[in-house]
Amino acid sequence: MAPARSWVRGADDPEGGFPLQNLPYGVISRPGEEPRCAVAIGRFALDLEALEQAGLLRLRESADTALGVFGEPHLNAFMGLGPEVWSAVRRRLTELLEEDGDPALRADAGLASRALIPLSEVRSHLPFHVTEFTDFYSGRQHAVNAGTMLRGPENPLPPNWLHMPIGYNGRASTVVVSGTDVVRPCGQLKPKGAEAPHFGASRRLDFELEMGTVVGLPSEMGRRLSVAEAERAIFGYVLLNDWSARDIQGWEAQPLGPFQAKVFATTIGAWVVPADALAPFRAAAPEREVALLPYLEQAEPGLFDVVLEARLEAEGREAQVARTNWREMYFSPAQQLAHHSASGCAMRTGDLLGSGTVSGAEKGSWGSMLEASWGGKEPLELGGGVTRGFLEDGDRVTLTGWARGDGYRIGFGECAGRILPARED
């Protein structure tokens, strides 16, 4: 069956990222305007506040739902309305944008010209207010690679790794949107062989190719979520780069794990792909070496067939560092969220969960510089004599991702950031 078509220019490009089947959410503005919510369709951002004010998003299933959520500078108010409303809005937007759908928008030339804004003319903002950020460590190959460098190939995984999603709490305050520059962090450093640490700028700066899970429905303190309830609570997914200072991390990580090495910056993409858009791309989890405890068991496939790439620009050269797939993870987003709540931890609308670095079995699919250069011992060749073991000032990392359907691609946009020199003050 041919995919549904849209009357919006660029939406039916099979290599484009924003077809009718996607409709990712973001927050946009133009010069002199206040940020408001939008979806990406083809080469345009569709202003949802304009549709709301025109009465085109009065929900049939929820006629009493208060209007005004799309005029907010973040998606949280909309996300908090729950999955029935998310699905109803998605159906209504599809009706308005489909070639043979409701003509109310395309027949109103004035409204269409105001509401459909070329993506080249808009500024993207952080799409939702990040209430909390937790980063997981659920990519097995990444954990094996890192563990091999730290402990040797005979004992790469910690004893608890196969039993539960390992994670740590990060900082919501330093989550930034794609395109934001990242200042090289400073911290305590203790080079190999040194008797004492010193304070200075990180010299082993890294990126991590991850996906982010965006929590829509909150949960109560003292009540744990089942995997099925966690699945229902997820609003959508974003590209995520959890920048890492490996030399700071190596000195500070024992006994409680990373701290300053991780909290200086986390970049996410500007567009949140709805959970419903990824439903056709579910992928099965890997075979378990040890049985999971019942609270983590997931009946249906919980991973996703999403191709991920990381590219590095340095000194006028550009090269692909990694090409991998999100289905390489060992634990699914719903399992991570269920485990996060297992102690009774309250989850909130706007919580962000990092998947952990996504790495495949082969070297070209390893999603960090730590792995790709094997701790700096095997620097990457970018051409023209340019090499990199870790990131230098001026380098730019860009993450992209997509799921391919029959005649269309579900894209996530870009997740990009450039490294600025450490500050002296």
Q: Give the β-pairing of 273-274 and 244-245.
A: unpaired
Active site residue 142: yes
- Output phi, psi for 242, to 5 deg: -95, 90
How far is the C-alpha of 375 from the C-alpha of 45, rounded, in Å? 41
How far is the C-alpha of 155 from the C-alpha of 147, rounded, in Å? 7
Residue type, 191: P
Q: What is the DSSP letter of 289?
A: S
Q: What is the C-alpha R_g of the chain? A: 22
Please identify which of the residues 74, 129, 142, 339 carries the catalytic annotation: 142
- Output phi, psi for 50, to 5 deg: -65, -40
- Output phi, psi for 108, to 5 deg: -100, 90
- Count of C-beta atoms within a 10 Å radius of residue 178: 23
Token reading at 64 = 């009493």
Inter-residue contact 167 to 136 (CB < 8 Å): yes
Token reading at 380 = 């990457």
Residues with catalytic function: 142
